[in-house]
Amino acid sequence: SVHIMSGIKATKCKALDSQKDTCPLGVAKLQNKSLIKQSHSEECSPKVNVMFMKTHKTASSTILNILFRFGEKHKLRFAFPDGRNDFFYPSPFLCSQVKDYKPGECFNIVCNHMRFDHQEVSKLLPPDSVYVTILRDPVDLFESSFHYYHKAVPLTWRIRGENKLAEFLNNPWTFYSPEAFNSFYLKNLLFFDFGLDNNLEADDPRVMTEIKNLSRRFHLVLIAEYFEESLILLKDLLCWTMEDILYFKLNARKSSSVSHLDAEMRAKALQWNGADWKLYQYFNGTFWARVEAYGRERMKQEVEELRRRNAEMKDICVEGGGAVEVQKIQNRRFLPWQPVGESSILGYNIKKDIDPRFRTVCEKMLTPEIQYLSELGVSLWLTRLWGWLKDAIY
Protein backbone atom coordinates (compact mmCIF):
# COMPACT_ATOMS: atom_id res chain seq x y z
CA SER A 1 0.00 0.00 0.00
CA VAL A 2 1.07 3.55 -0.61
CA HIS A 3 1.20 6.29 1.96
CA ILE A 4 2.06 9.81 0.93
CA MET A 5 1.93 12.74 3.29
CA SER A 6 -0.72 15.10 2.05
CA GLY A 7 -1.20 18.81 2.56
CA ILE A 8 -4.89 18.58 1.69
CA LYS A 9 -6.91 20.04 4.52
CA ALA A 10 -9.57 17.79 6.02
CA THR A 11 -12.36 18.81 8.33
CA LYS A 12 -14.21 16.74 10.86
CA CYS A 13 -17.53 15.44 9.66
CA LYS A 14 -20.40 17.48 10.96
CA ALA A 15 -22.10 16.09 14.00
CA LEU A 16 -25.19 14.33 12.78
CA ASP A 17 -27.77 15.97 14.96
CA SER A 18 -31.00 15.69 13.03
CA GLN A 19 -32.67 12.42 12.06
CA LYS A 20 -32.49 13.17 8.33
CA ASP A 21 -28.67 13.61 8.54
CA THR A 22 -27.97 10.20 10.00
CA CYS A 23 -27.30 7.17 7.87
CA PRO A 24 -30.69 5.42 7.99
CA LEU A 25 -30.81 1.66 8.48
CA GLY A 26 -33.12 1.08 5.54
CA VAL A 27 -31.14 2.96 2.88
CA ALA A 28 -28.15 0.64 2.79
CA LYS A 29 -30.25 -2.51 2.70
CA LEU A 30 -29.90 -4.30 -0.58
CA GLN A 31 -32.08 -3.41 -3.50
CA ASN A 32 -30.48 -6.39 -5.22
CA LYS A 33 -32.85 -9.36 -4.99
CA SER A 34 -30.17 -11.80 -6.22
CA LEU A 35 -28.50 -11.60 -2.84
CA ILE A 36 -31.64 -12.49 -0.95
CA LYS A 37 -32.06 -15.61 -3.10
CA GLN A 38 -28.48 -16.74 -2.53
CA SER A 39 -28.92 -16.98 1.25
CA HIS A 40 -27.97 -20.50 2.23
CA SER A 41 -29.97 -20.59 5.42
CA GLU A 42 -33.53 -19.94 6.52
CA GLU A 43 -32.16 -18.37 9.70
CA CYS A 44 -30.16 -15.47 8.28
CA SER A 45 -29.90 -13.21 5.28
CA PRO A 46 -26.53 -12.00 3.93
CA LYS A 47 -25.14 -8.90 5.61
CA VAL A 48 -24.05 -6.13 3.27
CA ASN A 49 -22.95 -3.33 5.60
CA VAL A 50 -19.34 -4.08 6.50
CA MET A 51 -16.48 -2.09 7.99
CA PHE A 52 -13.19 -3.94 7.46
CA MET A 53 -10.37 -2.24 9.33
CA LYS A 54 -7.46 -3.03 6.99
CA THR A 55 -4.32 -3.42 9.10
CA HIS A 56 -0.79 -3.51 7.62
CA LYS A 57 1.10 -6.68 6.63
CA THR A 58 -1.63 -9.04 7.85
CA ALA A 59 -2.96 -10.71 4.64
CA SER A 60 -5.54 -7.89 4.59
CA SER A 61 -5.11 -7.35 0.81
CA THR A 62 -6.58 -10.81 0.23
CA ILE A 63 -9.63 -9.91 2.37
CA LEU A 64 -9.95 -6.66 0.40
CA ASN A 65 -10.19 -8.64 -2.85
CA ILE A 66 -13.02 -10.75 -1.36
CA LEU A 67 -14.90 -7.58 -0.31
CA PHE A 68 -14.33 -5.89 -3.70
CA ARG A 69 -15.74 -8.91 -5.52
CA PHE A 70 -18.77 -9.24 -3.24
CA GLY A 71 -19.55 -5.51 -3.36
CA GLU A 72 -19.15 -5.30 -7.12
CA LYS A 73 -21.25 -8.41 -7.74
CA HIS A 74 -24.13 -7.08 -5.63
CA LYS A 75 -23.78 -3.42 -6.69
CA LEU A 76 -23.01 -2.21 -3.17
CA ARG A 77 -21.72 1.27 -2.41
CA PHE A 78 -18.09 1.55 -1.27
CA ALA A 79 -16.71 4.49 0.70
CA PHE A 80 -13.48 5.04 -1.24
CA PRO A 81 -10.57 7.45 -0.77
CA ASP A 82 -10.00 10.18 -3.34
CA GLY A 83 -6.82 10.24 -5.45
CA ARG A 84 -5.07 7.44 -3.60
CA ASN A 85 -5.54 3.94 -2.20
CA ASP A 86 -5.77 4.89 1.50
CA PHE A 87 -7.63 7.45 3.61
CA PHE A 88 -4.68 9.87 3.97
CA TYR A 89 -2.86 7.43 6.24
CA PRO A 90 -1.15 8.02 8.67
CA SER A 91 -3.47 10.94 9.48
CA PRO A 92 -6.47 9.89 11.60
CA PHE A 93 -9.53 9.00 9.51
CA LEU A 94 -12.06 11.73 8.73
CA CYS A 95 -15.20 11.07 6.73
CA SER A 96 -14.48 14.18 4.67
CA GLN A 97 -11.64 12.09 3.12
CA VAL A 98 -14.26 9.87 1.44
CA LYS A 99 -14.78 10.52 -2.26
CA ASP A 100 -18.05 12.42 -2.87
CA TYR A 101 -19.00 12.37 0.83
CA LYS A 102 -22.01 14.43 1.92
CA PRO A 103 -23.21 14.42 5.55
CA GLY A 104 -25.97 11.88 6.13
CA GLU A 105 -25.03 9.74 3.12
CA CYS A 106 -24.85 5.98 3.52
CA PHE A 107 -22.32 3.46 2.31
CA ASN A 108 -22.27 -0.33 2.48
CA ILE A 109 -18.56 -1.11 2.66
CA VAL A 110 -15.53 0.72 4.10
CA CYS A 111 -12.29 -1.26 3.69
CA ASN A 112 -9.26 0.82 2.60
CA HIS A 113 -6.25 1.51 4.82
CA MET A 114 -6.93 4.15 7.45
CA ARG A 115 -5.91 5.17 10.93
CA PHE A 116 -9.06 4.06 12.70
CA ASP A 117 -11.48 6.48 14.35
CA HIS A 118 -14.72 4.74 15.28
CA GLN A 119 -16.71 7.92 15.75
CA GLU A 120 -15.87 9.13 12.24
CA VAL A 121 -16.34 5.75 10.53
CA SER A 122 -19.72 5.21 12.17
CA LYS A 123 -21.09 8.31 10.40
CA LEU A 124 -20.72 6.55 7.04
CA LEU A 125 -22.49 3.30 7.86
CA PRO A 126 -25.90 2.14 9.04
CA PRO A 127 -26.15 1.13 12.71
CA ASP A 128 -26.44 -2.58 11.84
CA SER A 129 -22.98 -2.64 10.21
CA VAL A 130 -20.56 -5.45 11.03
CA TYR A 131 -17.06 -4.36 12.12
CA VAL A 132 -14.24 -6.78 11.29
CA THR A 133 -10.44 -6.61 11.39
CA ILE A 134 -7.41 -8.91 11.19
CA LEU A 135 -4.29 -9.30 13.37
CA ARG A 136 -0.99 -11.13 12.89
CA ASP A 137 1.71 -12.37 15.26
CA PRO A 138 3.58 -9.11 16.10
CA VAL A 139 7.04 -10.63 15.57
CA ASP A 140 6.24 -11.67 11.99
CA LEU A 141 4.38 -8.42 11.41
CA PHE A 142 7.37 -6.40 12.65
CA GLU A 143 9.77 -8.35 10.41
CA SER A 144 7.44 -7.84 7.43
CA SER A 145 6.89 -4.15 8.14
CA PHE A 146 10.62 -3.55 8.65
CA HIS A 147 11.38 -5.20 5.33
CA TYR A 148 8.57 -3.47 3.42
CA TYR A 149 8.85 0.07 4.82
CA HIS A 150 12.38 0.60 6.17
CA LYS A 151 13.50 2.58 3.12
CA ALA A 152 10.58 4.95 3.76
CA VAL A 153 11.69 5.45 7.39
CA PRO A 154 14.73 7.80 7.55
CA LEU A 155 15.51 6.47 11.06
CA THR A 156 16.80 3.24 9.52
CA TRP A 157 19.03 4.80 6.89
CA ARG A 158 22.01 5.01 9.26
CA ILE A 159 21.83 1.36 10.40
CA ARG A 160 25.04 -0.32 9.26
CA GLY A 161 25.73 -3.94 8.41
CA GLU A 162 24.06 -6.71 6.46
CA ASN A 163 21.35 -7.51 9.00
CA LYS A 164 19.66 -4.18 9.65
CA LEU A 165 16.77 -5.86 11.49
CA ALA A 166 19.08 -7.49 14.08
CA GLU A 167 21.06 -4.25 14.47
CA PHE A 168 17.83 -2.39 15.18
CA LEU A 169 16.51 -4.94 17.70
CA ASN A 170 19.82 -5.06 19.57
CA ASN A 171 19.71 -1.27 20.14
CA PRO A 172 16.26 0.03 19.17
CA TRP A 173 16.49 3.33 21.05
CA THR A 174 19.70 4.19 19.16
CA PHE A 175 17.67 4.33 15.96
CA TYR A 176 14.10 4.99 17.09
CA SER A 177 12.42 8.27 17.97
CA PRO A 178 8.62 8.49 18.47
CA GLU A 179 8.44 11.88 16.70
CA ALA A 180 10.48 10.88 13.64
CA PHE A 181 8.93 10.64 10.15
CA ASN A 182 7.14 7.31 9.56
CA SER A 183 8.53 5.88 12.84
CA PHE A 184 5.18 4.18 13.61
CA TYR A 185 6.11 1.46 11.08
CA LEU A 186 8.78 0.28 13.52
CA LYS A 187 6.86 -0.04 16.82
CA ASN A 188 3.42 -1.46 17.66
CA LEU A 189 2.09 -0.84 14.15
CA LEU A 190 -1.24 -2.56 14.94
CA PHE A 191 -1.83 -0.25 17.90
CA PHE A 192 -1.05 2.72 15.65
CA ASP A 193 -3.43 1.50 12.90
CA PHE A 194 -6.26 1.36 15.44
CA GLY A 195 -5.71 5.03 16.23
CA LEU A 196 -3.97 4.29 19.54
CA ASP A 197 -0.66 5.41 21.07
CA ASN A 198 1.94 3.01 19.68
CA ASN A 199 4.55 4.19 22.18
CA LEU A 200 2.75 2.86 25.26
CA GLU A 201 4.69 0.17 27.07
CA ALA A 202 2.99 -3.21 27.48
CA ASP A 203 2.56 -2.86 31.26
CA ASP A 204 0.84 0.53 30.96
CA PRO A 205 -2.77 0.02 32.19
CA ARG A 206 -4.04 2.06 29.23
CA VAL A 207 -3.03 -0.79 26.91
CA MET A 208 -5.61 -3.21 28.35
CA THR A 209 -8.21 -0.43 28.53
CA GLU A 210 -7.76 0.27 24.80
CA ILE A 211 -7.89 -3.45 23.96
CA LYS A 212 -11.18 -3.83 25.85
CA ASN A 213 -12.55 -0.78 23.98
CA LEU A 214 -11.64 -2.40 20.65
CA SER A 215 -13.36 -5.64 21.71
CA ARG A 216 -16.59 -3.62 22.09
CA ARG A 217 -16.15 -2.01 18.65
CA PHE A 218 -15.37 -5.10 16.55
CA HIS A 219 -17.76 -8.01 16.02
CA LEU A 220 -15.01 -10.30 14.75
CA VAL A 221 -11.20 -10.15 14.87
CA LEU A 222 -9.54 -12.50 12.40
CA ILE A 223 -6.09 -14.05 12.88
CA ALA A 224 -3.77 -14.14 9.86
CA GLU A 225 -2.01 -17.35 10.99
CA TYR A 226 -5.39 -19.13 10.82
CA PHE A 227 -6.59 -17.47 7.65
CA GLU A 228 -8.89 -20.24 6.45
CA GLU A 229 -10.58 -20.64 9.83
CA SER A 230 -10.91 -16.83 9.93
CA LEU A 231 -12.73 -16.80 6.59
CA ILE A 232 -15.12 -19.55 7.74
CA LEU A 233 -16.00 -17.48 10.83
CA LEU A 234 -16.43 -14.41 8.60
CA LYS A 235 -18.70 -16.34 6.22
CA ASP A 236 -20.78 -17.51 9.18
CA LEU A 237 -21.05 -14.02 10.71
CA LEU A 238 -22.02 -12.37 7.40
CA CYS A 239 -24.22 -15.26 6.22
CA TRP A 240 -22.29 -15.44 2.94
CA THR A 241 -21.64 -18.51 0.78
CA MET A 242 -18.43 -20.50 0.25
CA GLU A 243 -18.20 -19.02 -3.25
CA ASP A 244 -18.06 -15.51 -1.73
CA ILE A 245 -14.88 -16.25 0.25
CA LEU A 246 -12.78 -18.12 -2.35
CA TYR A 247 -9.38 -16.45 -2.75
CA PHE A 248 -5.82 -16.47 -4.03
CA LYS A 249 -3.16 -15.19 -1.66
CA LEU A 250 -2.35 -11.64 -2.79
CA ASN A 251 0.63 -9.42 -1.90
CA ALA A 252 2.75 -12.36 -0.66
CA ARG A 253 6.54 -12.08 -0.45
CA LYS A 254 9.03 -14.48 -1.98
CA SER A 255 10.49 -16.55 0.84
CA SER A 256 14.09 -15.51 0.13
CA SER A 257 13.24 -11.95 1.25
CA VAL A 258 11.95 -13.09 4.67
CA SER A 259 14.38 -12.78 7.62
CA HIS A 260 14.06 -15.80 9.90
CA LEU A 261 14.55 -14.60 13.46
CA ASP A 262 16.12 -16.85 16.08
CA ALA A 263 14.60 -17.25 19.58
CA GLU A 264 16.63 -14.37 21.05
CA MET A 265 15.63 -11.95 18.26
CA ARG A 266 12.00 -13.07 18.46
CA ALA A 267 11.99 -12.29 22.19
CA LYS A 268 13.46 -8.84 21.53
CA ALA A 269 10.91 -8.13 18.80
CA LEU A 270 8.07 -9.18 21.14
CA GLN A 271 9.33 -6.96 23.92
CA TRP A 272 9.76 -4.02 21.53
CA ASN A 273 6.20 -4.54 20.24
CA GLY A 274 4.74 -5.35 23.67
CA ALA A 275 1.43 -3.49 23.23
CA ASP A 276 0.78 -5.32 19.95
CA TRP A 277 1.65 -8.63 21.63
CA LYS A 278 -0.99 -7.99 24.33
CA LEU A 279 -3.50 -7.05 21.63
CA TYR A 280 -2.73 -10.21 19.67
CA GLN A 281 -2.88 -12.51 22.72
CA TYR A 282 -6.23 -11.10 23.79
CA PHE A 283 -7.89 -11.50 20.38
CA ASN A 284 -6.21 -14.85 19.70
CA GLY A 285 -8.09 -15.97 22.82
CA THR A 286 -11.44 -14.62 21.62
CA PHE A 287 -10.80 -16.16 18.17
CA TRP A 288 -10.40 -19.70 19.51
CA ALA A 289 -13.44 -19.25 21.73
CA ARG A 290 -15.36 -18.46 18.50
CA VAL A 291 -13.93 -21.57 16.82
CA GLU A 292 -15.03 -23.72 19.81
CA ALA A 293 -18.52 -22.21 19.67
CA TYR A 294 -18.65 -22.88 15.91
CA GLY A 295 -17.61 -26.51 16.48
CA ARG A 296 -14.15 -27.99 15.86
CA GLU A 297 -15.34 -30.82 13.61
CA ARG A 298 -17.64 -28.52 11.64
CA MET A 299 -14.74 -26.06 11.23
CA LYS A 300 -12.41 -28.83 10.03
CA GLN A 301 -14.91 -29.89 7.35
CA GLU A 302 -15.53 -26.31 6.20
CA VAL A 303 -11.77 -25.58 5.95
CA GLU A 304 -11.31 -28.74 3.86
CA GLU A 305 -14.14 -27.64 1.58
CA LEU A 306 -12.61 -24.14 1.24
CA ARG A 307 -9.20 -25.67 0.36
CA ARG A 308 -10.79 -27.97 -2.19
CA ARG A 309 -12.69 -25.12 -3.85
CA ASN A 310 -9.61 -22.84 -3.84
CA ALA A 311 -7.48 -25.58 -5.43
CA GLU A 312 -10.18 -26.02 -8.07
CA MET A 313 -10.08 -22.30 -8.88
CA LYS A 314 -6.27 -22.35 -9.01
CA ASP A 315 -6.43 -25.15 -11.60
CA ILE A 316 -8.94 -23.16 -13.63
CA CYS A 317 -7.28 -19.73 -13.37
CA VAL A 318 -3.56 -19.81 -12.66
CA GLU A 319 -0.86 -20.49 -15.23
CA GLY A 320 1.69 -22.86 -13.69
CA GLY A 321 -0.53 -23.34 -10.64
CA GLY A 322 1.10 -20.74 -8.37
CA ALA A 323 2.53 -17.27 -7.72
CA VAL A 324 5.60 -16.09 -9.65
CA GLU A 325 8.21 -13.36 -9.27
CA VAL A 326 7.39 -9.96 -10.69
CA GLN A 327 9.72 -10.31 -13.71
CA LYS A 328 7.68 -13.29 -14.90
CA ILE A 329 4.28 -11.57 -14.79
CA GLN A 330 3.14 -11.07 -18.38
CA ASN A 331 0.11 -8.78 -17.97
CA ARG A 332 0.52 -5.40 -16.22
CA ARG A 333 -3.01 -5.74 -14.89
CA PHE A 334 -1.73 -8.41 -12.48
CA LEU A 335 1.49 -6.63 -11.39
CA PRO A 336 1.50 -6.11 -7.60
CA TRP A 337 2.78 -2.91 -5.99
CA GLN A 338 6.37 -3.27 -4.78
CA PRO A 339 8.17 -1.82 -1.75
CA VAL A 340 10.64 1.04 -2.38
CA GLY A 341 13.69 -0.28 -4.24
CA GLU A 342 12.50 -3.92 -4.15
CA SER A 343 10.75 -6.50 -6.29
CA SER A 344 9.93 -9.04 -3.59
CA ILE A 345 6.12 -9.21 -3.91
CA LEU A 346 4.80 -12.14 -5.95
CA GLY A 347 1.93 -12.13 -8.44
CA TYR A 348 0.16 -14.41 -10.92
CA ASN A 349 -0.30 -15.14 -14.60
CA ILE A 350 -3.77 -16.03 -15.80
CA LYS A 351 -4.10 -19.22 -17.89
CA LYS A 352 -3.86 -18.61 -21.62
CA ASP A 353 -6.46 -21.23 -22.56
CA ILE A 354 -8.89 -20.31 -19.79
CA ASP A 355 -12.50 -21.51 -19.98
CA PRO A 356 -14.45 -18.38 -21.10
CA ARG A 357 -17.08 -19.01 -18.39
CA PHE A 358 -14.45 -18.42 -15.71
CA ARG A 359 -12.40 -15.64 -17.31
CA THR A 360 -14.10 -12.76 -15.46
CA VAL A 361 -14.07 -14.35 -12.00
CA CYS A 362 -10.44 -15.45 -12.46
CA GLU A 363 -9.38 -11.96 -13.53
CA LYS A 364 -11.06 -10.42 -10.50
CA MET A 365 -9.55 -12.96 -8.07
CA LEU A 366 -6.06 -12.27 -9.47
CA THR A 367 -6.27 -8.46 -9.66
CA PRO A 368 -4.11 -6.59 -7.08
CA GLU A 369 -5.61 -3.84 -4.92
CA ILE A 370 -4.38 -0.81 -6.92
CA GLN A 371 -5.69 -2.11 -10.27
CA TYR A 372 -8.99 -3.28 -8.73
CA LEU A 373 -9.57 0.16 -7.18
CA SER A 374 -9.01 1.73 -10.62
CA GLU A 375 -11.51 -0.68 -12.16
CA LEU A 376 -14.03 0.28 -9.46
CA GLY A 377 -13.66 3.91 -10.54
CA VAL A 378 -11.22 5.29 -7.94
CA SER A 379 -8.86 7.99 -9.18
CA LEU A 380 -5.36 7.10 -7.98
CA TRP A 381 -3.35 10.01 -9.32
CA LEU A 382 -1.40 10.54 -6.06
CA THR A 383 -0.65 6.85 -5.73
CA ARG A 384 0.53 6.65 -9.34
CA LEU A 385 2.66 9.79 -8.95
CA TRP A 386 4.36 8.27 -5.88
CA GLY A 387 4.85 4.99 -7.78
CA TRP A 388 6.51 6.84 -10.65
CA LEU A 389 8.80 8.78 -8.26
CA LYS A 390 9.65 5.66 -6.26
CA ASP A 391 10.66 3.73 -9.40
CA ALA A 392 12.56 6.70 -10.84
CA ILE A 393 14.59 7.30 -7.67
CA TYR A 394 15.51 3.67 -7.03
CB 156 within 8 A of CB 164: yes
In this predicted structure, the answer to whether residue 33 has a pLDDT above a threshold of 50 is no
CB atoms inside a 10 Å sphere around CB 342: 14
pLDDT-based confidence at 150, cuts 50/70/90?
confident
Report all structural domains of the chain as residue ranges with CATH numbers, in order of start.
Answer: 50-393 (3.40.50)
| pLDDT of res. 4 | 33
pLDDT score of 172? 94
Looking from the CA of 72 toward its CB, the CA atoms found within 13 Å total: 16
Judged by DSSP in three states, 39 sits in: coil
Confidence (pLDDT) at 341: 52
Give residue 307's pLDDT: 97
Mean pLDDT of 257-261: 73
Phi and psi of 339, rounded to 5°? -65, 165
Nearest to 85 by CA among 189, 2, 192: 2
If you average pLDDT over residues 350-368, what whole number do you get? 90
Q: Beta 78-79 vs 109-110: how paired, if at all?
A: parallel
Average pLDDT estimate for 239-263: 82
Confidence check: pLDDT of 19 > 80: no
What pLDDT sits at residue 380? 67
Secondary structure element (H or E) that encloses residue 233, with its range:
helix 227-238
| Mean pLDDT value across residues 278-300 | 98
> By percentage, how much of the chain surpasses pLDDT 70?
81
Taking a C-beta distance cutoff of 8 angstroms, is the pair 336, 347 a contact? yes
pLDDT digits (tens, 9 = 90+) for 75-127: 999 999 988 888 999 999 999 999 989 998 899 999 999 999 999 999 999 99
pLDDT in tens, 208-238: 999 999 999 999 999 999 999 999 999 999 9
Measured in degrees and rounded to the nearest 5, phi and psi for residue 292 equal: -60, -45
The CA distances from residue 329 to 157, 256, 323, 332, in Å, are 31, 18, 9, 7
